[in-house]
């Protein structure tokens, strides 16, 4: 265990942050959150022992104030949509590349010991024969993937040039509670089921992803804060299980108890990776990471959360 117990979480009132901040606060960390609430919501952290600051990572004054007295930073704030990045690459660049640079530079100037930043697996690697690993050659297909790769590059450079202990975690497709604002397939499928509308699949349904529960992601982040990982490291945090979009639709329908809910197919969209799942062998080696929640159980629990917290309201 390191002594880096005072942690700033950017984007901490968002989907992953809502689970992570609960976990860190519950295990004795002093947690401060910086979030502009563009996709997050302060109510996600109601009752959690964390300090919330409303501000943007691109605002140097807000960022500097939020970093005061912190030992470590978990950088989750991001523009996270592949489709939106294709429609507006400049906005994606500003948040993900300029924003990440400013977080790293402010952390360096504040004397922060360690940073852990959210990256992505499939969007960075692009089309490659899975399972992808840290040795897979990055070839992003979308501005979103390119922006995350640029962030990894800056993290590696800041480790080499300034000794900042940077770790980039390449998340698989994250799902779980607090994901109502996440524009991902599972959210859209559950909303379609609830509304009595067809589930829409873009392409023929053979595209695949690696779905990893947010609690497993949060455990990996906590371990990246605590383990002696070399600066500049990038790690895949994944389930190692390939799930096609067609299979995901079936799993969502089964979780909701409507196995015959209609599915509608539409043309594939630009910028999306065709097939992806990842090996987490290096994360196992360096972090002791193992996924603990199966697809079936995790998706069933996520549907229950939507029923109780989103659809029931």
Annotated active-site positions, please?
144
Burial class (CB in 10 A: 0-12, 13-18, 19+), 189: buried
Q: How many CB atoms neighbour CB 269 within 10 A?
A: 12
For 124, the token pair is 């960075």
The region that residue 240 occupies, defined by phi over 0 for left and psi between -120 and 50 for alpha, beta otherwise, is left
What phi, psi does 167 have (nearest 5°)? -135, 130
CB 282 within 8 A of CB 230: no
Q: How far apart, in whole angstroms, are the C-alpha atoms of residue 308 and residue 298?
A: 15
Q: Considering only CA atoms, which of 131, 114, 165 is closest in space to residue 238?
A: 131
Residue identified by tokens 């599972």 is: 186
Decide: helix, strand or coil at residue 14: coil
User: Both ends of the chain: CA-CA distance in Å?
Assistant: 41
């Amino acid at each position: 265990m390191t002594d880096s117990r005072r942690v700033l979480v950017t984007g901490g009132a968002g989907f992953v942050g809502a689970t992570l901040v609960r976990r860190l606060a519950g295990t004795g960390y002093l947690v401060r959150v910086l979030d502009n609430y563009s996709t997050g919501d302060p109510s996600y952290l109601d009752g959690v022992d964390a300090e919330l600051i409303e501000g943007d990572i691109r605002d140097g004054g807000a960022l500097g104030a939020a970093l005061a007295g912190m030992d470590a930073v978990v950088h989750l704030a991001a523009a996270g949509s592949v489709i939106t990045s294709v429609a507006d690459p400049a906005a994606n660049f500003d948040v993900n590349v300029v924003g990440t640079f400013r977080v790293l530079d402010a952390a360096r100037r504040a004397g922060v010991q360690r940073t852990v930043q959210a990256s992505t697996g499939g969007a960075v690697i692009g089309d490659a024969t899975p399972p992808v690993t840290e040795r897979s050659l990055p070839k992003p297909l979308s501005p979103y993937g390119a922006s995350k790769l640029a962030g990894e590059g800056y993290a590696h450079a800041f480790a080499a040039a300034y000794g900042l202990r940077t770790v980039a975690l390449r998340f698989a497709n994250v799902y779980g509670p607090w994901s109502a604002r996440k524009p991902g397939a599972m959210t859209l499928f559950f909303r379609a089921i609830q509304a009595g509308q067809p589930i829409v699949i873009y392409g023929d349904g053979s595209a695949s992803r690696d779905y990893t529960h947010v609690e497993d992601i949060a455990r990996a982040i906590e371990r990246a804060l605590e383990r002696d990982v070399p600066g500049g490291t990038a790690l895949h945090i994944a389930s190692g299980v390939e799930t096609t979009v067609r299979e995901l639709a079936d799993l969502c329908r089964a979780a909701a108890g409507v196995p015959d809910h209609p599915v509608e197919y539409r043309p594939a969209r630009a910028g999306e990776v065709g097939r992806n799942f990842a090996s987490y062998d290096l994360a196992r080696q360096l972090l002791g990471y193992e996924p603990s929640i199966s697809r079936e159980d995790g998706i069933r629990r996520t549907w229950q959360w939507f029923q109780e917290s989103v659809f029931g309201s």
